[in-house]
Amino acid sequence: MFNIILFGPPGSGKGTQSERLIAKYGFKHIATGDLLRSEIAGKTELGLQAKSYMDQGQLVPDAVVIGMVDNVITDNPDAYGFLFDGFPRTKAQAEALDQLLLKHEEKINLMIALDVPEEELIIRMMNRAKTSGRTDDADPEVQKKRISVYKNETLAVASYYHQFGKVITINGQGSIDEIFAALSEEIDDHSA
C-alpha cells in the first residue's frame, strides 16, 4: 500500500484535491469531517455527540475519530492505499494512526502539506459555505476558531511526521489543475 496524508488548514483545498487524487490513483479516502457529517445526517448517537463540537469549530474527541478511522482501515485491506484528509488533527491522533497502521503492517509513506495564507482561507470558506450548506464555513467566529485550533493543535502533526522526514510542502495557491499537477508529481516521485 501507499498511504498518504493530505495536510493543511481548513479551506486549503484538501477535499477538492482528494477527490481528484482518488479518481487518478484509486486511494481509499478517509475524510473524518465527511464521516462525521454523515453520522450527523444519519442522526446517530455519535453524530449527535460530534455536532456540538463541530458547530463551534472545536475538535471532536480523539477517541471518537480514531475509532471511526480504525473501522475504515480494517474494512479495506485490499485498497491501493489510504488517503487521509482532515486526519490526524492532533499529535495523539497521529500516534494512534501509526499504531493502527502497524497492526496491519502498514505505515504512512508521505504527508503533503498545502500551504495557503490565512486571508485566502477565509475567502475560500466563505465561498464554500454558499454551496456546501456547512454552517461552520459561514460564521466568521467559527472560521477564526477553526484556524486557531489548526495552529494550536493540528500543526503539531506536521512536526510529528517531519521528524521522520515524511513531510513535503507545496504551494496551495494557484489553479486547481496546477495544484493537482504538483501533488501528482510528488506522489509519483515517492511511490516509484
Look-up of cell digits 477527490: 19
Name the CA dihedral angle for 47, 145, 156, 6, rounded to a multiple of 10 degrees: 60
- The nearer residue to ligand AMP, 85 or 106, going by C-beta atoms, is 85
Question: Is residue 89 flagged as an active site residue?
Answer: yes
Residues at the interface with ligand AMP (CB under 6 A): 10, 32-33, 36, 53-54, 57-60, 65, 86-87, 89, 93, 136, 146
> Any catalytic annotation for residue 28?
no
Residue type, 167: V
Q: Which is nearer to ligand AMP, 87 or 180 (CB)?
A: 87
Task: Give the CB-nearest residue to ligand AMP.
Answer: 33
Q: State in angstroms the smallest separation of the CB of 192 from ligand AMP.
A: 30
Phi and psi at 57, nearest 5°, equal 80, 15
| DSSP conformational letter for 6 | E
Catalytic residue, candidates 37, 89, 124, 166: 89
Q: For residues 64 and 20, what is the distance between their CA atoms, to the nearest angstrom?
A: 27
Active site residues: 14, 89, 128, 134, 146
